Amino acid sequence: MSDLLVSAKTFLFVPGHRPDRFAKAAACGADVVILDLEDAVAPDRKGAAREHVRAWLAEGHQAVVRINAAGTPWYHEDVAGVGRALAVMQPKAEDRAEIDALAGRLPGMPILPLVETAAGIADAVAVCGADAVVRPAFGSVDLAAQLGVDHRSHEALRYARSALVVAAAAAGRAAPIDGVTTALDDEAALIADLGHAKTLGFTGKLCVHPRQVPVADRELAPSESEIEWAKSVAGLVGDGSVAVADGQLVDKPVELRARAILDRAGEPFRPAG
């Protein structure tokens, strides 16, 4: 199932205490559903949410589970109840030792670290490099609150986003999943957020409402112009040399980017020329 986690563009959060929404979320077209035991669930509902999630997974349904952070009163019980999950999302991820400890309790379980603190960004290469980590996610709202900036500001969080993209690449992990867009009824804001994230190298999006899913799926996919460019470039320098296409120098790194675009678009590779 790691292949799905690597390639998925849309990740839809569903509150763990709302089992009436689980099936609807699974049917809405999101690549991955995240059953949330953390921020979306009040303290007095944590236990009930955990049981709802456990029951859903026991029925054979696939979902990622966002557990409560290490050090909270609910952490250990959450970990004990997610053995059937597709993956675990670990919030406040900033310490590789904590990720390794979680992996030790859940052998073979993929982990998606949610990097949402200054310490997590500062140590992002180590966080992404933990053996169980498949792909990191960016917690824009929590990080912005800690930094005292507007979570809607692209400029304020540009460094943090770029740092996570670089860290994931340095650790050999899949490109990160961008944080939520809290403006539920503003498609223009969602599209702007997606465009910014895509420009920086993100390839996935955390969604908080089903209506965000098709927009994110569309906007994160390679555009027609990107696909046409990739088709014109891929295969030009297979021997490791350089070539010229439409007045632009094409070397091996450029060709590799073109092939990656075709792969994300599901287009077959055919040598250009």
pLDDT in tens, 92-142: 999 999 999 999 999 999 999 999 999 999 999 999 999 999 999 999 999
Q: Residue 82 — very low, low, confident or very high, per pLDDT cuts 50/70/90?
A: very high
pTM of the model: 0.91
Q: Could you tell me the residue range of the domain that residue 150 belongs to?
A: 2-220
Q: Average pLDDT of the chain?
A: 94
Query: Residues annotated as binding site?
Result: 66, 116, 142
* CA gap 136, 168 in Å, rounded: 7
174/114 same-domain check: yes
Q: How much is the pLDDT for 271?
A: 67
Cβ–Cβ < 8 Å for 235, 272: yes
Query: Is the separation of the CB atoms in 146 and 120 below 8 Å?
Result: no
Give the model's confidence band at 16: pLDDT under 50 very low, under 70 low, under 90 confident, else very high: very high
Return the CATH number at 202. Answer: 3.20.20.60
Residues 160, 115 share a domain: yes
Are 115 and 230 in a shared domain?
no
Q: What is the mean pLDDT of residues 39-65?
A: 97
Q: Is residue 177 part of a domain?
A: yes
Verify that 211 and 243 share a domain, yes or no.
Answer: no
Give yes or no: residues 92 and 216 share one domain.
yes
Beta-bridge partner residues of 204: 177
- Say whether pLDDT at 272 is over 80: no
- pLDDT at position 1 is 53
In total, how many domains does the chain have?
A: 2
Look at residue 245 in the predicted model and tell me its pLDDT.
66
Feature table: binding site for Mg(2+): 116, 142
Alpha carbons within 13 angstroms on the beta-carbon side of residue 177 total 29
Residues 133, 257: one domain? no
Asked whether residue 176 falls in the same domain as residue 252, the answer is no
With beta carbons less than 8 A apart as the criterion, state whether 135 and 177 touch.
yes
Helices (H), 107-235: 118-122, 124-129, 140-147, 158-170, 187-200, 212-220, 224-233
In a domain, 273, yes or no: no
Tell me the binding residues for substrate.
Answer: 66, 116
Is residue 189 domain-resident? yes
Pair 149, 237 in one domain: no
Residue 271 is assigned to a structural domain of this protein:
no
